[in-house]
Amino acid sequence: MALKKLLLSAAAAALFAGCAAQPGLPGPGTQAEVAAAAEKLRVAMVDPTGPALSELVADDLSYGHSGGKVDTKASYIADLLSGASDFLNITISEQTVKVVDANTAIVRHTLTGDTIDGGKPGKVALKVLGVWQRQNGQWKLLARQAVRV
């Protein structure tokens, strides 16, 4: 009986190791990697630089605002750098990260913050859905949609 348990344990360990190593399956720490990329983007939106933003968003970015405007990567970065979209601070709460596969994740959160868009002070409170994609080993925002709370 002890040999049977030992063999079953060894078989289960081998099966787990094989699954963990298969391409297409998320590895340990993937959820934390996605959360870290989302946090880097939050920081880059408050203190924007072209290189930081470019590193965090996909070339095919579709960035949906709560008012209906949809940005591309170029227009999203340009608005942040020019101050047309200017965040003084951003607070993220209620964040969930669901890793779908080794290259895709869904991030949902509530975003609140203070803005100065076009020189006018304001406040935002949004529910945000983000789709992140691993590209060349880095997590990048591929799509985003926000709705007002």
Residue 103 inside a domain? The answer is yes
Residue 79, in any domain of the structure: yes
Q: What is the rounded distance in angstroms from the CA atom of residue 121 to the CA atom of residue 88?
A: 9
Question: What's the structural domain count of the chain?
Answer: 1
The pLDDT tens digits for 89-105 are 999 999 999 999 999 99
Mean pLDDT is lowest, of 11-20, 80-89, 107-116, for 11-20
Mean of all residue pLDDT scores within the chain: 87
CATH of the domain at 107: 3.10.450.50
Domain presence at residue 57: yes
CB–CB of 140/58 below 8 Å?
A: yes
Q: Binning pLDDT at 50, 70 and 90, where does residue 29 land?
A: confident
Its pTM surpasses 0.95? no
131, 106 contact by CB (below 8 A):
yes
Give the end-to-end CA distance of the chain in Å, rounded to a whole number. Answer: 60
92 found inside a domain: yes
Q: Which domain holds residue 59?
A: 29-148
Residue 105 in domain: yes
As a whole number of angstroms, the distance between CA 45 and CA 127 comes to 16
In a domain, residue 21? The reply is no
Judge whether 3 lies within some domain: no
